[in-house]
A and B are shown apart, each in its own frame.
Chain A
Amino acid sequence: MHRLAAIILKEFNQIKRDKRTLLLLIFFPAFLLLIFGYAIDFDVKNVEIGVLDLDNSKESREFIEKFTLYDHFILKYHLNTFKEIDYYLDSGLATLCIVIPEDFSDELKQGDNVSIQIIIDGTNSNVGMTVLGNLRAYITDYSNNLSANALKKVGIHKEPVPVELIPRVWYNQELKSAKFLIPGLIGFIMMIVCVITTALSIVREKERFTIEQISVSPIRPHELIIGKTFPYMIISLITMILIIILGIILFDVTIKGNLIYLFVTSLVFIIGALGLGMMISAITDSQQVAFMVSIIVTMLPSIILSGFIFPLNSMPKIIQFISYIVPLRYYLVILRSIILKGSGLISFWDQLIYLTIFSSIMIIVSSIKLKKIL
């Protein structure tokens, strides 16, 4: 007990003295949160559109005006010639151009089918798809209203649409991507912080040869391992709480689920990440190399292969298969279940088992590896 306490105390003293790292541990996550929270936004809003109204009638103006009632679109440019469409799309000033034909109002009055031309900048496929979807919905709505009115005129008061869609969005009602990203961000930041701090703290002892002095003492390997990782576990938990508080303040995140579940599952994940950090420290000899390896092992897979940003379901089978070795994948499902859905153990017990397996393997293998250098 005395030996374990001595190591923990020493580790905290060193952390306390290393102000730069301490600040980094606190501000780096906050910084990432701001960057990811504000910059990564899959919501397509404020699409600037140009309109070439060849009809210039009461009906066409009404049609256009209705666009602006949606906050998806901003009517920015009134065009006069087809040439101008090329210019506005090429220069990126407008994402979308609408052409209303000369006979728009006449055809409508006669009850004929009217065609409207829409030209979308498809460079960003995501934005293009979303805009197209929004437009379809808007125009269907508009047409249905017209048909209903027309039917009313002839005395038929019937629902014009046989099948109607009544959408209810659960969990993230406003469909905000920031809310979806925050649980992932918590996992992502914890992964990086845990792995790097642990790896560096042990490699630093190797670099300065203090590890030799420790290995001459009668300290047991498990005491050293627990003593060295415990302080970083505490720091990681503080970091997590900090991110959550920032998420609540800045992005209206609410934790719908049980805080105890959140705490326990996070602990399992943190232990696994600390184990990974120890593993890196066992196989590297300098802080620089350990840092590089930690970044490569944590950053890329956690961003790309965990479902943090890109949905795993739409990836090729082989890549989905590789993603099973990325621990964040499991933790993410758990975090999203608890924070966004507020669901219980029933919805993530399998993920928790995988995560526990991962953490156990990490701790066992890294302990064996570290024992060899002690």
Chain B
Amino acid sequence: MCGIVGLFSKSENIESHLGSYLSQMLIEMTERGPDSAGIAVYRNPTDKNHTKLTVLSPEDNYNWKKVSNDLSQHYDGLVNFEIRGNQATYIVPGTEEGITAWLYANHPDLKLISSGSSIEIYKAMGLPTRVIEKFNIQELTGTHALGHTRMATESAVTTHHSHPFSTGEDLCLVHNGSLSNHNRLRRILRKKGIIFHTDNDSEVAAGYIASRLQQGDDLDEALAASIHDLDGFYTFAVGTKDGFAVMRDPIACKPAVIAETDDWVAMASEYRALAVLPGAKNAHCWEPAPAKIYSWKH
């Protein structure tokens, strides 16, 4: 099954309570996936020539200060960081290039799970309530966010196999469904330089879209191409630095509903996740058509 949610703010109120609203939405989807949960939030964009990195440690109480010092040396500049649960977000004076290799060489127990100017990803095993509490998601502000609660069908239940998946700058994807040609696509995409961390099918979808964006597609074009190249069942919600998109496969048996008011646009696997939002009762509410791309941009 799996449950997915997305919230795109069009007002101050939603922006300042983004984490709280997204948490309520994700908790409503708990029964659709008890294995792991995760969120991606777009907030506090970095200054020019800086990059935000979200890093995951296998244990709580990691020596994040040491990593910060090492990163400062590596980049030869000031590095700020913020700790949430067993993850930390670093703002580094430079690009993400080479940082995965650097982490592997200097802190092999850490994994980079997102990079960009505003994206942060938090994910862990367990129910949405546990994950939300662990990372204190409710207090987060931001412009848009995606969430996922997983019922694994296709690959292992670990934090690394949890959604959202990010395989490009400020890009992330959550997925309800399953892909059947992901092994072949992964091989092709690896040759093009996309780095994959797991054998998960949804990570391949994220990698596919990242690859298309690198080639110069915009998000809508990348999604349109995926209809031809990805074989399987899917409802995707995709986030970029300033945008948010939803798409279902041409058969469209995986559920999705979208609602919009003057203050927000939101998507979810089921309406009950949207019902927690202010003004949901009178929102314009519809089921996304098969193979049609719905996107919003700030």
Chains A and B bind each other: no
Query: Residues on A close to B: CB < 8 A?
Result: none
